[in-house]
Amino acid sequence: SYELTQPPSVSVSPGQTASITCSGDKLGDKYAYWYQQKPGQSPILVIYQDNKRPSGIPERFSGSNSGNTATLTISGTQAMDEADYSCQAWDGSTAVFGGGTKLTVL
């Protein structure tokens, strides 16, 4: 079965750039999606179709996808960005999520 791999944790200082990777076999041939989830809340879509931002998502969130790796980049990271981030792709008719990355802003 298809698998997506993320680092369990990433730390960043306020105002710096955070990069969260998601790896999967030929992931670049699929669309990658990214979700943010804060404690006690439902996930929120922050990037779709590799690099598109839904309405209401700040411009500091961006995405890329090539080869075997998709990357979520948060520029000028703010304390409010501290959350779990999960990538997702479709493998045929099955949705697959990465294991999630806890972003700590310190």
Positions touching another protein (CB under 8 A) are: 1, 31, 33, 35, 37, 42-45, 48-49, 54, 84, 86, 88, 90, 93-100
Shortest spacing between CB 24 and another protein, in angstroms: 14
Shortest spacing between CB 60 and another protein, in angstroms: 19
- The residue among 44, 69, 71, 68 whose CA lies nearest residue 58 is 44
* Beta strands, E only, the chain: 9-12, 18-23, 33-37, 44-47, 61-66, 69-74, 83-91, 94-97, 101-105
Contact 4, 86 (CB under 8 A): no
Nearer to another protein, 55 or 79 (CB): 55
Shortest spacing between CB 47 and another protein, in angstroms: 9
Nearer to another protein, 11 or 90 (CB): 90
